[in-house]
């Protein structure tokens, strides 16, 4: 029961505003978290990876079109046929419905019918944007960073120390962090004293160039090595940062690139996460390996990799449960997942993609530090840069760690996961007249 309090997502302001007792129905996450049947976390983690159990209860939930495509690429003699056994419990329709915030279909009482029932499109599986989709600037202009700089610029500041003080305050307020801010402002100060700038606009243009230069080294797109059969992408991060959503968006992206793909529903703690991933899988015609809630995440990953190898899949994306970077037992579990994958492929996972919520602020730095120590992060996705994110943490992350930022999440739709672009990002935060 303690888990219910420890792992429950932070209340949103809307929740907090609700009068006590106003909640008539608990969400599926709350019910699942309140009554976990999972063994105590400390019992399941930190042990050396035991040989994962046979995958007798694993299931791949393929959507019809994907099955044909995957079948076509299957080698003549698969080394194992661990999936499609159909012995796993299907995720109940009401769980999927709860995850998607829709009414369950009536036929859901029959698991077979439920499995075949079409899933209504929702915000979680949003339609592609209409033509003329919004760009970076449109999505990021609400950020504290963009607001401070548009305010500063519209005042037509003079080229003096006050301007530098204002820039310093704007950068700190936008979560750029003290060390990155000091580096930027002191460099501008030196150049101002050396009379390098004709006016304030020239100084701001130099700031733009410095910001782009800070991000350029980490703007490294994810490269899928097609020789790795499959390329294993393990997603990690704290609770609610957008891991499962990001996997859905990546699935759509990879599917559009015609990459044979499989998903592993390794977030076995939050019941809705499995359903959420299966919904994404069905929508995009991508098979999903799942064992249901409370299964051993390492075992799900192992089964999925075995299945992906047998089917000649090009990319396997494994979800993991959100965990706080301060929960040492759960952090050790990530190491176990990695070791178990390496029993099948010494090079796996080929990418450990950490998803970071852009609204987190400077706390993102300690999150990354701990996750990197536990599992060796090789790439980042910074989500929720639309909304209330201040934007500046991206610079702090880049300066402190130099770990590639693969994607930026600037909205909830699939196409809102953008390949990280240093110039597009900086220009979205600064007044348009400064842009290149």
Q: Binding site annotation covers 285?
A: no
Adjacent-strand bridge partners of 264: 289, 318
Distance CA 15, CA 102 (A): 20
- Which lies closer to ligand GTP via its Cβ, residue 82 or residue 409? 409
Is residue 411 close enough to count as binding ligand GTP by CB under 6 A? yes
Q: Binding site annotation covers 87?
A: no
- Least distance CB 278 / ligand GTP (angstroms): 14
x/- binding map, residues 304-323, to ligand GTP, per CB under 6 A? ------------------x-
35, with CB counted inside 10 A (0-12, 13-18, 19+), is exposed
Is residue 268 close enough to count as binding ligand GTP by CB under 6 A? no
Residues 6+ apart with CB under 8 A from 361: 175, 390, 393
Residues within window 137-166 making contact with ligand GTP, judged by CB under 6 A: none
C-alpha Rg value of the chain to the nearest Å: 23
Name the helix (H) or strand (E) containing 377: none
Instruction: Please pick, from the candidates 409, 414, 418, 425, the single residue that binds ligand GTP as defined by CB under 6 A.
Output: 409
- Which lies closer to ligand GTP via its Cβ, residue 8 or residue 343? 8
- Which lies closer to ligand GTP via its Cβ, residue 270 or residue 406? 270
- Residue 256: count of CB within 10 angstroms of its CB: 12
Distance CA 316, CA 229 (A): 9
Is residue 241 close enough to count as binding ligand GTP by CB under 6 A? yes
Residue 410's φ and ψ, nearest 5 degrees, are -120, 30
Q: Binding site annotation covers 321?
A: yes
Give the binding-site size for ligand GTP (rule: CB under 6 A).
Answer: 21
Distance CA 332, CA 47 (A): 9
User: How many C-alpha atoms does 149 have within 13 Å on its Cβ side?
Assistant: 30
CB under 6 A: which stretch of 35-43, 53-61, 145-153, 234-242 binds ligand GTP?
Answer: 234-242
Structure tokens at 375: 């599992």
Note the residue count of the chain.
436
Is residue 41 close enough to count as binding ligand GTP by CB under 6 A? no
Is residue 379 close enough to count as binding ligand GTP by CB under 6 A? no
Is residue 90 close enough to count as binding ligand GTP by CB under 6 A? no
Q: Binding site annotation covers 416?
A: no
Phi/psi-derived region of residue 129, left when phi > 0, alpha when psi is between -120 and 50, beta in every other case: beta
Distance CA 291, CA 55 (A): 9
- Which lies closer to ligand GTP via its Cβ, residue 204 or residue 272? 272
- Cis check: omega of the bond before 87, within 30 degrees of 0: no
- Which lies closer to ligand GTP via its Cβ, residue 90 or residue 411? 411
Instruction: Please pick, from the candidates 273, 301, 398, 430, the single residue that binds ligand GTP as defined by CB under 6 A.
Output: 273
Secondary structure of residue 19 in the 3-state scheme = coil
- Which lies closer to ligand GTP via its Cβ, residue 361 or residue 387? 387
Instruction: Please pick, from the candidates 387, 400, 401, 435, the single residue that binds ligand GTP as defined by CB under 6 A.
Output: 387
Instruction: Please pick, from the candidates 412, 415, 421, 423, the single residue that binds ligand GTP as defined by CB under 6 A.
Output: 412
x/- binding map, residues 2-31, to ligand GTP, per CB under 6 A? ------------------------------
Instruction: Please pick, from the candidates 70, 336, 383, 428, the single residue that binds ligand GTP as defined by CB under 6 A.
Output: 383
> Contact 241/321 with Cβ under 8 angstroms?
no
b/e sequence 50-75, b meaning 16+ C-beta within 10 Å: eebeebebbbbbbbeebeebbeeeee
**Taking Cα atoms as reference points, which of 304, 382, 303, 367 lies closest to residue 330?**
367
Residue 318's φ and ψ, nearest 5 degrees, are -105, 130
Instruction: Please pick, from the candidates 253, 386, 404, 420, the single residue that binds ligand GTP as defined by CB under 6 A.
Output: 386
Is residue 240 close enough to count as binding ligand GTP by CB under 6 A? yes
- Least distance CB 316 / ligand GTP (angstroms): 17
Q: Binding site annotation covers 8?
A: no
Adjacent-strand bridge partners of 318: 234, 264
- Least distance CB 235 / ligand GTP (angstroms): 8
Q: Binding site annotation covers 385?
A: yes
- Least distance CB 267 / ligand GTP (angstroms): 5
Binding footprint of ligand GTP on the chain (CB under 6 A):
237, 239-245, 267, 270, 273, 322, 383-384, 386-387, 409-412, 416
């Amino acid at each position: 029961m303690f888990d219910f309090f420890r792992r429950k997502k932070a209340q949103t302001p809307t929740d907090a505003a609700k009068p006590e007792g106003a909640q008539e129905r608990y969400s599926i996450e709350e019910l699942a978290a309140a009554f976990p049947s999972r063994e105590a976390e400390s019992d399941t983690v930190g042990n050396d990876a035991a040989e994962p159990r046979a995958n007798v209860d694993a299931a791949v939930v393929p959507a019809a079109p994907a099955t044909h495509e995957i079948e076509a690429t299957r080698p003549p003699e698969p080394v194992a046929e661990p999936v499609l056994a159909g012995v796993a419990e299907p995720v109940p329709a009401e769980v999927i419905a709860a995850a998607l915030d829709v009414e369950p279909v009536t036929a859901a009482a029959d698991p077979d019918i439920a499995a075949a029932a079409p899933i209504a499109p929702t915000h979680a599986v949003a339609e592609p944007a209409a033509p003329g989709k919004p760009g970076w600037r449109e999505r990021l202009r609400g950020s504290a960073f963009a607001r401070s700089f548009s305010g500063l610029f519209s005042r037509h500041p003079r080229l003096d120390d006050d301007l530098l003080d204002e820039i310093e305050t704007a950068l700190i307020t936008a979560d750029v962090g003290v060390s990155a801010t000091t580096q930027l402002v002191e460099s501008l100060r030196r150049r101002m004293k050396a009379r390098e700038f004709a006016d304030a606009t020239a100084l701001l243009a130099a700031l733009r160039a410095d910001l782009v230069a800070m991000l350029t080294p980490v703007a490294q797109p994810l490269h899928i090595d097609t020789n790795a059969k499959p390329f294993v992408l393990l997603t990690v991060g704290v609770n609610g940062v957008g891991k499962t959503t990001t996997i859905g968006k990546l699935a759509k992206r990879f599917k559009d690139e015609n990459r044979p793909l499989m998903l592993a529903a390794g977030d076995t703690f939050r019941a809705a996460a499995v359903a959420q991933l299966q919904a994404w899988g069905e929508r995009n015609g991508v098979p999903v390996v799942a064992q249901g809630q409370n299964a051993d995440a390492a075992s799900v990953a192992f089964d999925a990799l075995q299945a992906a190898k047998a089917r000649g899949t090009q990319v396997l994306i494994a979800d993991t449960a959100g965990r706080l970077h301060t929960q040492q037992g759960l952090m050790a579990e990530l190491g176990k997942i990695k070791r178990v994958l390496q029993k099948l492929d010494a090079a796996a996972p080929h990418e450990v993609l950490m998803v970071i919520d852009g609204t987190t602020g400077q706390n993102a730095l300690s999150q990354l530090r701990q996750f990197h120590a536990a599992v060796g992060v090789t790439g980042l996705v910074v989500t929720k840069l639309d909304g209330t994110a201040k934007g500046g943490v991206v610079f702090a992350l880049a300066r402190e760690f130099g770990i590639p930022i693969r994607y930026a999440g600037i909205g909830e739709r699939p196409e809102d996961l953008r390949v990280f672009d240093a110039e597009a990002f900086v220009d979205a935060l600064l007044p348009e007249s400064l842009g290149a």
